[in-house]
């Protein structure tokens, strides 16, 4: 049986952000930009005593004997790439941004390749990392936090696919890379609205009848329509209790529509909502379908039923 060569190393995983999108836009510029960035990354890996053991297109995997060297290497090439992007001529090359994940663990050496959970975790950390930043495991952070000049911040717990549902991570950034905008995008483009599953909220009907006995009818119609919405697989429907909570104490309907839009837009990720007003004995209700981001009326119509009669 062949003896397994195990060593404790620090693994660095780096990957270019939106590389496929850049290639689709301009292959020649993207390839030249990749070569430029790789020359920077490869140079710093060598300077810090690391060894590249795998590359695939825009990704790089390297192993280091020291976690401090691995982190300092990432800090240096992220700063250098940031400086490059600041002065790059957009007519000749593209500004490429990179993500980096670093973890230390015992791995298996097989020829020139490296295998093991340490490699997988580093790759998963890289995929979770904000653009232009460095994401490291707790094991790495504990060894480098007092020995590097960069800023280390707790980034909570991440779900790493096939590894852990709660893996504690830390974000490392410099004065330069900390300026990068890494906030989660809150708005949606038209193309994204076409590809993402819409989330719809229905406001409970408002009874404009002097006869309070018709309230049961209005509630019944509302529940039926809500049920029909819920049966559409292409939609996600906000619960009636949550929708009702926001309209329970609102006195004026016209003010409520705008208030409802703004409050729910900030608390939830739903994109559309419907609201209605019901009249009886003739069953009549206007249906208005709004996009919450812009308050734009996507659809509006009035439905009537002259033949409805009270049962029981």
186-224 pLDDT, tens digit each: 334 444 444 456 677 776 666 666 666 666 766 777 777
Is 204 in the same domain as 158? no
Q: Do 171 and 155 meet the contact criterion of CB atoms below 8 Å apart?
A: yes
Q: Within a domain: residue 129?
A: yes
| Single pTM value for the model | 0.59
Give me the count of residues in the chain. Answer: 312
For residue 306, the model assigns a pLDDT of 43
Q: Within a domain: residue 150?
A: yes
Neighbours of 45 (CB within 10 A): 24
Helix (H) or strand (E) holding 15: strand 5-16
Whose structure tokens read 């404790």? Answer: 8
Q: Do 62 and 113 meet the contact criterion of CB atoms below 8 Å apart?
A: no
Q: Which of 80, 163, 173, 152 is nearest to 125 (CA)?
A: 163
Instruction: Write the burial class of residue 60 (CB in 10 Å: 0-12 exposed, 13-18 middle, 19+ buried).
Output: buried
**What's the CATH number where 67 sits?**
3.30.70.1230
For residue 265, the model assigns a pLDDT of 41
The whole-angstrom separation of Cα 238 and Cα 268 is 9
Q: Within a domain: residue 310?
A: no
Q: Do 304 and 278 meet the contact criterion of CB atoms below 8 Å apart?
A: no
**Domain assignment of residue 122, given as a range:** 5-179
181 vs 29, higher pLDDT: 29
The domain total for the chain is: 2
Strands 236-237 and 199-202: parallel
Is 140 in the same domain as 111? yes
Specify the range with the lowest mean pLDDT, choosing from 61-70, 109-118, 226-235, 238-247.
238-247
């Amino acid at each position: 049986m062949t003896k397994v060569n195990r060593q404790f190393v620090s693994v660095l995983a780096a990957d270019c952000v939106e590389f496929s999108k850049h290639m689709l836009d301009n292959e020649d510029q993207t390839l030249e930009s990749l070569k430029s960035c790789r020359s920077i990354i490869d140079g710093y890996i060598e300077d810090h005593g690391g060894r590249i053991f795998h590359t695939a297109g825009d990704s790089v995997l390297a192993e280091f004997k020291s976690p401090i060297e691995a982190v300092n290497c990432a800090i240096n090439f992220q700063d250098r790439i940031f400086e490059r992007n600041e002065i790059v001529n957009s007519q000749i090359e593209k500004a490429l941004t990179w993500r980096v994940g670093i973890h230390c663990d015992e791995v298996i050496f097989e020829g020139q390749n490296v295998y093991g959970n340490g490699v997988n975790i580093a790759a998963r950390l890289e995929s979770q990392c904000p653009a232009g930043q460095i994401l490291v495991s707790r094991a790495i952070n504990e060894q480098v936090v007092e020995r590097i000049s960069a800023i280390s911040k707790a980034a909570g717990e991440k779900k790493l696919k096939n590894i852990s549902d709660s893996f504690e991570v830390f974000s490392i950034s410099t004065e330069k890379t900390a300026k990068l905008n890494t906030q989660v995008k809150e708005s949606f483009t038209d193309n994204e609205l076409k590809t993402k599953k819409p989330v719809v909220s229905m406001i409970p009907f408002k009874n404009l009848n002097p006869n309070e006995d018709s309230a049961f009818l209005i509630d019944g119609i509302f529940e039926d329509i809500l049920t029909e919405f819920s049966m559409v697989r292409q939609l996600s429907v906000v619960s009636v209790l949550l929708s009702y909570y926001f309209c329970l104490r609102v006195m004026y309907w016209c003010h409520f529509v705008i208030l409802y839009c703004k409050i729910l837009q900030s608390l939830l990720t739903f994109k559309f909502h419907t609201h209605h007003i019901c009249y009886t004995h003739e069953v009549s209700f206007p249906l208005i379908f709004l996009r919450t981001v812009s308050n734009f009326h996507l659809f509006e119509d009035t439905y009537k039923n002259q033949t409805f009669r009270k049962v029981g």
